[in-house]
């Protein structure tokens, strides 16, 4: 583990760290905010998964989440969105390759050796955090934006019992039926669409749902709303009668101005679940 930076923030510490990953076979960088309470013992954890083109730094510097995490005594984890570096496959398009891991374990060439973000987030990085930092892995929640919202929803439903709550900002909700999804799922997982089902929040909601509360916000003027397909996820939630709050926020777009406007509510939502006995 290498410490790249450490800054005091809101009484706690915002750090950036790098480690060698077995899952992705390259060095991975992540941000971790620890509130002041972490000096006295393990604190609950909220994961924040970022969207296309982002790395660990975008939400860490733009969302304003540390303010509210410090108030609630919650750690924030900001993983990267994909493997990176020399020898890691990439694509000229912004929505495939480095910066666009889609939180899956790739099975297709040239992506399979490194693009194992599901295993990295489900297994490897939690183990690293539990070993190195004062975090309580029995109290975890997850959120994300856009591609990261897709990742948050699918990880929450795909790992039953792991997360107490899940939220998302403008998630890619039905990737197997969207141009933001079909391209990437084909590239990473192949042409057999049955292999996509465990990475589509709408299909997962219909099949298994989530054993906790869900909060999703999408802006009414989001420039990518036709690719996000919030209505598909809403229909699946209604069909399953899942505990969920799905909101359309008037006039908001897809930017971090949107995320930062509602991050306080999302962190309070997760704090309620994380501190519930």
Is 222 labeled as catalytic in the residue annotation? yes
Q: Tell me the C-alpha distance between 180 and 275, whole Å.
A: 35
CB 77 within 8 A of CB 52: no
Is 254 labeled as catalytic in the residue annotation? yes
DSSP string for 44-55: EEEEEE--TT--
Which residues are bridge partners to 75 per DSSP?
A: 45
Q: Tell me the C-alpha distance between 208 and 198, whole Å.
A: 10
Q: Is the peptide bond before 110 cis (omega within 30 degrees of 0)?
A: yes
Active-site option among 146, 165, 167, 173: 146
Is 21 labeled as catalytic in the residue annotation? no
Q: Is the dihedral of CA 201, 207, 212, 217 positive or negative?
A: positive
Active-site option among 150, 222, 266, 270: 222
CB 131 within 8 A of CB 42: no
Residues catalogued as catalytic: 146, 222, 254
């Amino acid at each position: 583990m290498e410490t790249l930076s450490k800054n005091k923030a809101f009484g706690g510490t915002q750090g950036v760290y790098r480690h060698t990953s077995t899952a992705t076979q390259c060095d991975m960088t992540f941000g971790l905010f620890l509130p002041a309470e972490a000096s006295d013992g393990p604190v609950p954890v909220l994961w924040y998964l970022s969207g296309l083109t982002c790395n660990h730094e975008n939400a860490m510097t733009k969302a304003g989440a540390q303010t509210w995490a410090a108030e609630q005594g919650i750690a924030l984890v900001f993983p990267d969105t994909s493997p990176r570096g020399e020898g890691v496959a990439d694509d000229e398009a912004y929505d495939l390759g480095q910066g666009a891991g889609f939180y899956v374990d790739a099975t297709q060439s040239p992506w399979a050796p490194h693009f194992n973000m599901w295993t990295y987030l489900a297994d490897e990085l939690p183990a690293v955090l539990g070993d190195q930092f004062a975090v309580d892995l029995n109290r975890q929640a997850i959120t994300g934006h856009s591609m990261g919202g897709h990742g948050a929803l699918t990880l929450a439903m795909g790992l039953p019992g792991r997360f107490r709550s899940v939220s998302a900002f403008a998630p890619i909700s039905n990737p197997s039926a969207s141009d933001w999804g079909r391209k990437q799922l084909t590239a990473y997982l192949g042409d057999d669409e049955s292999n996509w089902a465990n990475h589509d929040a709408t299909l997962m909601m219909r099949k298994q749902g989530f054993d906790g509360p869900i909060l999703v916000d999408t802006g009414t003027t989001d420039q990518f709303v036709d690719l996000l397909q919030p209505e598909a996820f809403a229909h699946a939630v209604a069909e399953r009668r899942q505990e969920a709050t799905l909101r359309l926020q008037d006039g908001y777009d897809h930017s971090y101005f949107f995320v930062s406007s509602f991050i306080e509510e999302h962190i309070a939502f997760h704090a309620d679940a994380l501190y519930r006995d």
